[in-house]
Structure 1
């Protein structure tokens, strides 16, 4: 029934978050925290390459993984445009069976929050630990809870060219305070010369975490040297629920 980051979603994402577009300084922050890492770095949820391509251009050994073929196609084209041909993996990263390991793993833009259940989150953290070399670094963003009104609809218009564009309707369906999730429907309509030619319906379940809760989850898997930072200022304590929080953790043992 639902599309999973299909062609219309990909088009809107790339229009609104093109390659190199920094969200509140996140690209610079991640580049700074990766300084000195010369081995392979895995970006999870690489999308169309918004952060991935700039990090490649700065000399980092980047590999990307995403479940969306459409997103990866654009990422590949963007990389080729600047003379790169990076390794891009189309798979569910939480169960990806690869045996390669990485010196660092990054998960920007709160992609981790898209895992809808506690079981998936636990499995994902174990997977992250497995994929890191001893001493490897994990950096990921989390969004704190927000308070949308159930039934609220937000519509936006995204112009492709003089004759075509995409409208996007976001509708909040449910907020589950016990399960810590917000469910949203995203309906994409593509129009050419005023005629509707394509539609996509996407369900997005966003899960949030308390800061202490998430630190305990990281520790339970085995991560050490855990820090958190607000709004891309390293180790600055968050003071507002509207801030983006970035966790950093390290795998110490060879396990």
Structure 2
């Protein structure tokens, strides 16, 4: 069992629910359009098992990926090999990001930036992103606000994920902390894998999500050295956010 990481069972659920090329709310189409003009390299931070990285690479973009989870990267690598793709994949924490090249764009889709629980570490990662961009390079990332239900400590949920091999993975979730002052929600997840009525594997995960106010994050980007910051709602570039249930996509340039 693992705690605080995207382990084997979590990766299996991710692969079942987020197959390669699946667009969530229009994010794949949005990122393809915003990156269409890129001629240099692109880095997808927290690339997971390649849901977006692979179709972006198939569209002819030079995409690298980095993720902390070796299980996620192994899945991404396998999916790339099946398609004859050879992107550069790196395993490591964004808090320690130190790669050898500068990028024309760095992207963090699907709200994954929220997984950085500590605020100061979030700021440090933004600085590292800034330093890994070439002059004029762009950072594009998604943020979202927590669902109001998730702010109720003790809230629970149960999901079931059948696997093509006949096994079933169940996932039980429980909100254990909702700290409005720190802007963090912590959920405990328990994964169990069953085969013909017998438990064959289990895994625990501590999932912490930090959220930011819309203008708060704009100021963080500007204080980190980014300019030309725009915020778009629900994958419609230039559409101003109007309520907390929307996805907010930030785009900012390194000078």
**TM-score, length of structure 2 as denominator length:** 0.97
Q: Is the 8 A contact 1:181 1:206 kept in 2?
A: yes
Give the secondary structure class of the aligned counterpart of 2:49: coil
Distance 1:163 1:101 in 2: 45
Q: Confirm or deny that 1:66 pairs with 2:67.
A: yes
Distance 1:234 1:246 in 2: 8
Give per-residue Cα distances to partners, 1:177-223, cap 9 Å, x unaligned.
Answer: 00000000011001111111111100011000001100000000100
Give the secondary structure class of the aligned counterpart of 1:94: helix
Task: Note the 1:173-252 alignment, pairs <5 A.
Answer: 173-252=176-255
Aligned length: 252
Task: Give 1:80 shift.
Answer: 1.2
Task: Give 1:79 shift.
Answer: 0.9
Which runs of at least 4 in structure 1 moved beyond 3 Å after TM superposition?
Answer: none
Distance 1:68 1:162, change over 3 A: closer
Task: Note the 1:141-152 alignment, pairs <5 A.
Answer: 141-147=142-148, 148=150, 149-152=152-155
Q: Confirm or deny that 1:163 pairs with 2:159.
A: no
Give per-residue Cα distances to partners, 1:83-138, cap 9 Å, x unaligned.
Answer: 11111001112212223110100000111111101111111110110110000000
Range with greater deviation from structure 2 (91-100 or 37-46): 91-100
Task: Note the 1:27-46 alignment, pairs <5 A.
Answer: 27-46=28-47
Distance 1:60 1:162, change over 3 A: closer
Q: Is the 8 A contact 1:3 1:200 kept in 2?
A: no
**TM-score, length of structure 1 as denominator length:** 0.97
CA RMSD of the aligned region, Å? 1.0
Unaligned runs of 5+ in 2: none
Give the secondary structure class of the aligned counterpart of 2:157: strand
Give the secondary structure class of the aligned counterpart of 1:183: strand
Unaligned runs of 5+ in 1: none
Q: Confirm or deny that 1:153 pairs with 2:159.
A: no
Q: Is the 8 A contact 2:4 2:207 kept in 1?
A: no
Matched with 1:119 is: 120
Task: Give 1:163 shift.
Answer: 3.2
Give the secondary structure class of the aligned counterpart of 2:236: coil
Task: Give 1:38 shift.
Answer: 0.9
Distance 2:95 2:105 in 1: 16
Give per-residue Cα distances to partners, 1:129-149, cap 9 Å, x unaligned.
Answer: 011000000000001233222
Give the secondary structure class of the aligned counterpart of 1:85: coil
Matched with 1:18 is: 19
Q: Is the 8 A contact 1:129 1:221 kept in 2?
A: yes
